[in-house]
Amino acid sequence: MSTSLVSYDTLVATVAGIFSAHLPEGDAQHVARCLVDADTRGVASHGIGRIPVYTKRLRLGLVNPRPSLRVTGGDAATAHVDGDNGMGYVVAQKAMDEAIARASQFGIGMVLASHSNHFGMSASYVQQALDAGLGSFVFTNAPPLMPVWGGSTPFLGTSPFAFGAPGETPLLLDMATSVVAFGKIRRAARLGESIPADWALDAQGRATTDPHAAIDGVVLPMGGPKGSGLGLMMDLLAGVMSGAAFGGQVRNQNADFSAPQDVGHTFIAFKPDLFLSAEAYRERAAALVQRAKACTLANGFDDISMPGEREEAMARRARLEGLAVSEQDMEMLREEEQLASGSAAERSGSHSAA
Amino acid sequence: MSTSLVSYDTLVATVAGIFSAHLPEGDAQHVARCLVDADTRGVASHGIGRIPVYTKRLRLGLVNPRPSLRVTGGDAATAHVDGDNGMGYVVAQKAMDEAIARASQFGIGMVLASHSNHFGMSASYVQQALDAGLGSFVFTNAPPLMPVWGGSTPFLGTSPFAFGAPGETPLLLDMATSVVAFGKIRRAARLGESIPADWALDAQGRATTDPHAAIDGVVLPMGGPKGSGLGLMMDLLAGVMSGAAFGGQVRNQNADFSAPQDVGHTFIAFKPDLFLSAEAYRERAAALVQRAKACTLANGFDDISMPGEREEAMARRARLEGLAVSEQDMEMLREEEQLASGSAAERSGSHSAA
């Protein structure tokens, strides 16, 4: 497959250009950065390949390009953000900002968001907290793709459990509660590859290696009741408690174009050095990593890496050397740029002249 | 195997009698209740079978029977509890009390504990928050029994990830981050049963079905890097941040009688109805459960149960009908009662007359 090497800045500018036909410039830049960052981390399922569905929903009026994000305080260390059906990326960034502000004052802060949409890679918001020197938990709910334990029909999202803690080598855990992220199944379908037999059931509840059959069926939770329990936990925290849709009622952005998604999110930020000096925390966090890496290797491993470490190394390389973009994605970007200039013309009232 | 049916209250009184040779009466009652509660929930690995190692450590002076629990405030919504090497059960109860107080005031509260010991079943403290109408996260670190992902030697504890949320059917998730709780391997060894091949590696890093070989080796993390990531997260939150031992240095209470364990714990409590009326939260939490239970069943399932629901049903039955205690455990209780009366005599200065 032929690819083009594109610099990080160029790719972000291209994607931001596409979104700026719809969104305020700052929001377009933020969305573009999150999408390209996912590609730099090797998380292609949350990368620029998602652009067409986002712009489609914007064009259809299913996502509010200029939301009024309403922040209301709960008890002191908590707040609520009504996302006003804005892009999830924009709602989540604002909500994590609020969580960071509360953690800075109270040691820990929790912010829930409702009326939001798909926010991309959770790692983006964990990184936002890391950049502020804070640890965090980031949860979201998502459309039903995975059965609750004991069920055979989609009920839970394959929502990621995400956590971060600062350090010389930060911990940045961002893991699907499914055996695999559903995006990996979609990607296998796009690339015509088969999938392992324990990833998913087909529509009849049978194990399958065909990603197309799996897309019509369900992906399985990791560890059976364990992944299912984490999924229920996140739906309660992000959906039930926030006022967003929950319990299988978040709409699928790829399949349901009848109404907004109404996704809910949860952001908990905390200071890592509450009871230690900043210096002592740094030393102890570094010692945890050093001791882990000093363990005897298991068969088949060359090194021991921390959660997110490999992804950050990939991202650093991609930011320096550029990203390999497939011909298919280059074509998609060209099409999206054309659609964007059409939308921009339409928005400026000159669509009859275009 | 012959068993005796013992009422809940009688068993708690017997166990409390054993511990009251060492601990203040209230603490002895609390420890007894936690241990018997674990047995009622079917979590035998954290039940009365643990009594001998606790009393041994108390007799050896490795656990402080009358700790001065020192609470120091961090930022407003947080606090630290120095456990003064008290029993983990006592330290954890106090720390969760502090987390509940902070959540009541600030919406969310986080309390870290250091210089503690094994605290038994995490569900006990999640239940403590549920009884106060609050949701919670409960984390602990633990002696090294599980490799970090990529390693072959023990580094992480098989610490549980625990979470709770109130409701008509509360969610009470308490899951080991290992494929199985290590106690299940110890129990299989005690009962002479074999274990599945994917539970553990032996001391040479090979898969094994022999629980004795597994006890000399390592139990594997669930989902590979996922369970390993959760384990690192909990060691950072409970160990690094609290000032307790961490990174493979928590002592094993069953194997190391040279010094205190220095376990660390993390308790996060939060109000579930911050941005909804209490009534609306209850309705939505109930709807989540109802919708989950209404899913089409998977092959081989009779019903769909929530995390902790089956355990709570077992516990309710055991509290009504009594617990079946093995002859082996009855014998252990008799021995412990004798040891306790010896200790009590010793403490009252009359051991030469005994």
A291 and A332 in a single domain? The answer is no
Q: Choose the mutation target among B78, B81, B108 for the interface with A, i.e. most A CBs under 10 Å.
A: B108
A165 and A295 in a single domain? The answer is yes
Q: How many domains, in total, are found in chain A?
A: 2
Q: Which of B22, B80, B115, B118 is catalytic?
A: B118
3-state secondary structure A165-208: ECCCCCEEEEEECECCCHHHHHHHHHHCCCCCCCCEECCCCCEC
CB nearest to A298's CB, from B147, B223, B240: B147
Structure-token match 């029977």, residue found: B65
CA dihedral for A209, A214, A216, A219, sign (positive or negative): positive
pLDDT for B217 equals 84
pLDDT for B349 equals 61
Q: Which amino acid is at B109?
A: G
A35 and A99 in a single domain? The answer is no
ipTM of the complex in this document? 0.94
A179 and A145 in contact (C-beta within 8 Å)?
no
What average pLDDT does range A80-102 have in this prediction? 98
- Position A351 confidence tier, pLDDT thresholds 50, 70, 90: very low
> B59-99: per-residue pLDDT in tens?
999 999 999 999 998 779 999 999 999 999 999 999 999 99
pLDDT for A216 equals 87
Q: Distance between CA A15 and CA A37 in Å, rounded? A: 12
Q: Distance between CA B174 and CA B38 in Å, rounded? A: 12
| Most confident segment among A67-81, A179-193, B17-31 | B17-31
Q: Distance between CA A80 and CA A74 in Å, rounded? A: 7
Residue B46 lies in a domain: yes
SS3 of residue A257 by DSSP: coil
A47 and A322 in contact (C-beta within 8 Å)?
no
Q: Distance between CA A261 and CA A251 in Å, rounded? A: 4
Q: Distance between CA A189 and CA B313 in Å, rounded? A: 43
Q: Are strands A263-270 and A323-326 parallel, antiparallel or unpaired?
A: unpaired
Is B352 in the A-facing interface, judged by CB distances under 8 Å?
no
- Position A254 confidence tier, pLDDT thresholds 50, 70, 90: very high
- Position A206 confidence tier, pLDDT thresholds 50, 70, 90: confident
pLDDT for A346 equals 72
Q: Distance between CA A202 and CA B176 in Å, rounded? A: 29
- CB contacts, 8 Å: B205 with chain A: 298-299
Is B299 in the A-facing interface, judged by CB distances under 8 Å?
yes
Residue A207 lies in a domain: no
pLDDT for A296 equals 93
Q: Distance between CA B134 and CA B270 in Å, rounded? A: 6
| Residue in A246, A202, A208 with CA at minimum distance from that of residue A114 | A246
CATH number for the domain harbouring residue B52: 1.10.1530.10
Is B118 an active-site residue? yes
Q: Choose the mutation target among B106, B145, B242 for the interface with A, i.e. most A CBs under 10 Å.
A: B106
- CB contacts, 8 Å: A149 with chain B: 304
pLDDT for B104 equals 96
Residue A39 lies in a domain: yes
pLDDT for B68 equals 98
Residue B26 lies in a domain: yes
- CB contacts, 8 Å: A301 with chain B: 150-151
pLDDT for B351 equals 44
Element (H, E) at B245: none
A245 and A137 in a single domain? The answer is yes
Q: Which residues on adjacent β-strands are paired with residue B329? A: none
A167 and A42 in a single domain? The answer is no
Question: What is the rounded average pLDDT for all residues in chain B?
Answer: 93
* Nearest-CA distance B195 → chain A (Å): 17
Hey, which bits of chain A come out as E strands?
3-6, 70-73, 78-82, 108-116, 135-140, 160-165, 171-176, 200-201, 218-219, 263-270, 323-326
Q: Distance between CA A27 and CA A216 in Å, rounded? A: 34
CATH number for the domain harbouring residue A276: 3.30.1370.60
The one-character DSSP state at B117 is: -
A90 and A238 in a single domain? The answer is yes
Residue B93 lies in a domain: yes
B51 and B126 in a single domain? The answer is no
pLDDT for A25 equals 97
A169 and A299 in a single domain? The answer is yes
> A298-331: per-residue pLDDT in tens?
878 899 999 999 999 999 999 999 999 999 999 9
- CB contacts, 8 Å: A245 with chain B: none
Is A181 in the B-facing interface, judged by CB distances under 8 Å?
no
B241 and B343 in a single domain? The answer is no
What average pLDDT does range A227-232 have in this prediction? 96
Q: What are residue A263's phi and psi, to 5 degrees?
A: -80, 150
What average pLDDT does range A81-87 have in this prediction? 98
Q: Which residues on adjacent β-strands are paired with residue B236? A: none
User: How is residue B61 written in tokens?
Assistant: 């002076």
Structure-token match 């509010």, residue found: A64
Q: Given a cut of 80, is residue A198 above it in pLDDT?
A: no
First to last CA, chain A: 35
| Residue in A282, A248, A279 with CA at minimum distance from that of residue A262 | A248
SS3 of residue A271 by DSSP: coil
A94 and A147 in a single domain? The answer is yes
Residue A351 lies in a domain: yes
Q: Distance between CA A330 and CA A48 in Å, rounded? A: 10
C-beta atoms surrounding A328 within 10 Å: 14
- Position A202 confidence tier, pLDDT thresholds 50, 70, 90: confident
Residue A154 lies in a domain: yes
B107 and B8 in a single domain? The answer is no
CB contact under 8 A, A74 and B151: no
pLDDT less than 70: residues of chain B: 1, 347-354
SS3 of residue A108 by DSSP: strand
| Burial readout A50-72 (b: 16 or more C-beta within 10 A, e: otherwise) | bbeebbebbbeebbbbebebeee
A144 and A229 in a single domain? The answer is yes
Question: What radius of gyration, in Å, describes the C-alpha atoms of chain A?
Answer: 21
pLDDT for A1 equals 64
pLDDT for A321 equals 97
CB contact under 8 A, B295 and A153: yes
CB contact under 8 A, A106 and B105: no
What residues make up the domain containing A289? 69-178+221-306
Q: What are residue B149's phi and psi, to 5 degrees?
A: -60, 125
SS3 of residue A281 by DSSP: helix
Residue A254 lies in a domain: yes
